[in-house]
Amino acid sequence: MPSADAPDRHRRRREAGEESRRRTRARLVQAADRLFRERGYAATTVSAIAEEAGVSLQTLYLAWGSKREVFRAAATAAAGGWQEDWPEAVRAELATAASTDPDTATYLDAVARVFVAVTARTTAYRRLYREAATVENALGEDWLAVQSQTTATIRAVAADIPPAALRPELNADSVFLTLWTLASPEVYDAVIDRAGRTPAELEHWLSTTLIATLTSPQNPAPA
């Protein structure tokens, strides 16, 4: 007769297996991230990733299926989970600052902080995606999808801007285009790499510029 606690043992065994697989997948992503950053996409082999993670090649394929998939997972992890959900990132930033009902300027200031933080984390993978696209067509398609998703998230952020202090002559598309242009990776690269400014200086410039451009003159930037 089966033991009464047999279902619990099966559940615990199943949960332990799931946790082990989760840890293995995470270890592979961390190993892949190190190697992609050091060697680039083309020079990083699946064998090297498996060796770096301390697992077999078969385990890598069981966990992720392909080099492309583990690359995508590493890129997502580098973004800290915010690449596809900037509105939530901005809300989290406002909550951290104890601002639950922000005015327009406070919201834009939070947008600047999120933009700089996310873009700093993803700088390496923007370069890696461009490299990978030259050797693997599917990753070129992925890169286009990432760019499209970024545009969609910026549009969502623009739609969430508290409207009270926005310049009345600006329509929703004008607000989006302003944010999309100023909070872009190209601007980040120009300010950080070519102009030699720090992320903090970029954050301050972006915050004050967004507020000056999008809000009515009587609404000063937050202190």
74 within some domain:
no
Task: Give 217's pLDDT tier (boundaries 50, 70, 90).
Answer: confident
19 within some domain:
yes
- pTM for this prediction: 0.77
Same domain flag for 172 and 92: yes
Same domain flag for 181 and 107: yes
Q: Find the distance separating the first CA and the last CA of the chain, reported in whole Å.
A: 72
- What are the C-alpha distances in Å from 95 to residues 15, 90, 116, 211, 219? 34, 9, 18, 20, 22
Beta pairing partners, 166: 215
203 within some domain:
yes
Cβ neighbours of residue 154 closer than 8 Å, sequence gap 6 or more: 86, 176, 179, 180, 183
Same domain flag for 15 and 58: yes
* Secondary structure class of 214 (helix, strand, coil): helix
Same domain flag for 220 and 174: yes
Same domain flag for 139 and 87: yes
Q: Which pLDDT value is given to residue 6?
A: 66
Residue 54: CATH number of its domain: 1.10.10.60
Same domain flag for 88 and 36: no
* Domain total in the chain: 2
pLDDT tens sequence across 17-61: 688 889 999 999 999 999 999 999 999 999 999 999 999 999 999
Cα three-residue angle 192-198-202, rounded to 5 degrees: 75
Same domain flag for 14 and 100: no
Residue 196: CATH number of its domain: 1.10.357
- What are the C-alpha distances in Å from 142 to residues 37, 57, 163, 185? 18, 24, 34, 17
Same domain flag for 190 and 93: yes
Cβ neighbours of residue 33 closer than 8 Å, sequence gap 6 or more: 74, 77, 78
H-type alpha helices, 6-136: 6-39, 46-53, 57-64, 67-78, 86-96, 104-133
Residues 52-77: what's their mean pLDDT? 94
Q: Which pLDDT value is given to residue 86?
A: 76
How far is 114 from 103, CA to CA, in rounded Å?
17
137 within some domain:
yes
How far is 180 from 42, CA to CA, in rounded Å?
31
Same domain flag for 142 and 33: no
160 within some domain:
yes
Task: Give 149's pLDDT tier (boundaries 50, 70, 90).
Answer: confident
Same domain flag for 114 and 223: yes
- Residues spanned by the domain of 57: 1-67
Beta pairing partners, 215: 166
Same domain flag for 54 and 99: no
Q: What are the structure tokens assigned to 11, written together?
A: 């559940």
Same domain flag for 163 and 122: yes
